[in-house]
Structures are given as structure tokens and as C-alpha cells.
Amino acid sequence: MLWIKTLNVALQRRRCVNFDIMKNAVDTYARALCEVLSDDLNEKEIERRIDSFVVLIREKHALHLGDRIIGRFVSLFNEKLGVVQADLTVRDSKSVDVKVVQEALSKRLNKTVELSVIADASVVGGARLHLGDHLYDNTIKNRLSQLQQQLTA
């Protein structure tokens, strides 16, 4: 299959010295998948390429990394499109004007932000923002924990 060869070539080019480290493997596979799906393709061709990719990672005994590969692929693909995924965790999701927060983040980052609001009763006050690969924790619990560390240091 030509596709298996194409994917193997993409993986060989991206192979890290420490390929056996899971994080590098996930990133390598995700980047290879992003590379082979980057063209303007019709739905049937995309499906064929994804099927070939699944065959490849099965042959490489990496199916157990599937969820992490997909997550990293989505991040890379969104990055390429200028889209950032964000999760805002608050006590009461009804108290958040999603549109205002989304627009403020988009303006600050100069990117399109896809915002999900998560209600978590353990958040007494404040909010936690997971933006791409970064976590900004401005919850009362975290602020008190930081204060405690400063006082005991």
C-alpha cells in the first residue's frame, strides 16, 4: 500500500532519538497524521488515509496511544487553523457570559477561541482556565494554597 509507505516516511522524518518515550511517540504520530491530512482532500480520501494510519499504528503496537494521538492531532490541526481550545471551570456555569469571555480571549490571543464552560461544585470561588497546553488557576483554593506555601517557606 502506497499509503502505508507515505505514513512510514512521514514518521521516519519525525522520529525522535527517544522515540520510545510515550510523549514523543504521541507527538510524532499526531504530526505525521496532520501532515498526511493537510491537503485539500475529499471525504473518501480522508477516510482512506485515516484507515491506513490506524493500520500503521496497529502494526507499530501503538493502538493504546490512540486517544492521546487524536487529542494531540486536534491541537496541532487547530493550531494550524489559528484556533485555540479553552476550558473554563467555574462553580456555576450559568454565571458566565461565554460570549464575552470568548471574545476577550480571542482578542487577547489574536486567535479564534473555542470555549467550553465546565461547572464544578468543588470550585468555591474564582475560575480555572485550561487554554491550549497552559493552565491558569485563579481559584480561591489555589490562591490559598500558594499563600500557605509562601508563609511556610
| Chain segment 76-128, per-residue pLDDT in tens | 888 888 898 899 999 998 888 999 999 999 999 999 999 999 999 999 999 99
- Residue 70 confidence (pLDDT) above 80: yes
- pLDDT for residue 135: 92
pLDDT tens by residue, 18-40: 444 455 888 889 998 888 886 67
Domain ranges of the chain: 2-79, 82-152
Phi, psi of 106 (to 5 degrees): -60, -40
Residue pair 12/24 in contact (Cβ under 8 Å)? The answer is no
Three cell numbers at 123? 470550585
Instruction: For residue 32, give the nearest of 56, 6, 10 by alpha carbon.
Output: 10
